[in-house]
Amino acid sequence: MQQVLLLDRTRMPPNWTDLIRVGQYAVFLSDIESSAPVSSDGFPVNSASEYFCLLFDSLTDAESYCQKAVGQTRNLKCEIFDSAGRVNPPVAALVNPEFAHKLDTEASARRLVRWGFVAIAISLPLFWYAWRNNAGVVWWPVFLGINSVFAGLRLIQWGHGLKEELRYRQKEATLRLQQNSVTQGSK
């Protein structure tokens, strides 16, 4: 493991992306609540000039470090990136099990879709009530019903979008992992 400042004007090359080699992995540490950069002990980084990443020679080394770190520091989020850096989604993101619900998952995407259908189902009795009680006099059920339908449609779209993004991230991470193993194997 090597701790590297993201930008160090005294170093040649000054940018961290020029230091990372193919097959290496970069770990960025942040606070799970605020996403602010933190040091390995969980304290906030005071200035941008102190912002760093950790470079590892293998994914297993990076993952084992992150698992140990999130176990020791409650509010820590570790994101592991391949040698391309932050241009691609992280290969993995690890947090303390207490905060696992804060990460995007297939289950949270399904939950969003489910709540969308619930919101649409709630609109049906509102429309029925307005129809039964003369819609010209009772306007609020129609107003709430229309808003409930739009909220439900938005939740469904959000859930399906999240599912697609998670699948894309997983596919890209797997592809990059295969490319890195092929590149390392040809050395």
**Please, are residues 70 and 14 in contact by the beta-carbon 8 Å criterion?**
no
pLDDT of amino acid 148: 96
pLDDT of amino acid 45: 80
What digits encode the pLDDT tens for the residues 81-121?
Answer: 888 888 888 888 888 877 777 777 788 899 999 999 999 99
DSSP track, 35-77: --BB-TTSPBP-SGGG-EEEEESSHHHHHHHHHHHHHHSTTEE
Gyration radius of the chain's alpha carbons: 23
**Please, are residues 142 and 127 in contact by the beta-carbon 8 Å criterion?**
yes
Taking residues 59-67, report their average pLDDT. Answer: 88
Of 18, 21, 16, the closest CA to residue 3 belongs to 16
pTM, full prediction: 0.65
pLDDT of amino acid 93: 84
